[in-house]
Amino acid sequence: MTEELQRRVRVIHDLEWAIRLWELLRDNEQRVVNETKACSEKQGDSVETNPTVAKARAYIDTCNASILTTKARIDELARGD
């Protein structure tokens, strides 16, 4: 294996770990949304106006964007671009 190929494999491996971490963080925030939603529904409140839910959803969107960007980078490295 050439040095350049070894470097690409290491970078891809690191990027895949980053995706796993973002997925864990995203899933944790989704849990917050789900729990807040369940609690709000019991009280008859609207979850859409809850600032905690708004922050969590924004964070989820950020994680999803990061995951997609990282997957695109992995594809580029796998193709050799």
| pLDDT computed for residue 81 by the predictor | 66
Contact of 60 with 30, CB cutoff 8 Å: yes
In contact, 40 and 47? CB cutoff 8 Å = yes
Q: Would 36 be classed as within a structural domain?
A: no
User: Which portions of the chain are predicted below pLDDT 50?
Assistant: none
pLDDT at residue 60, rounded to an integer: 97
Parent domain of 10? 1-17+47-81
Residue 2 in any domain: the answer is yes
Tally of structural domains, the chain: 1
pTM: 0.82
Residues in the chain: 81
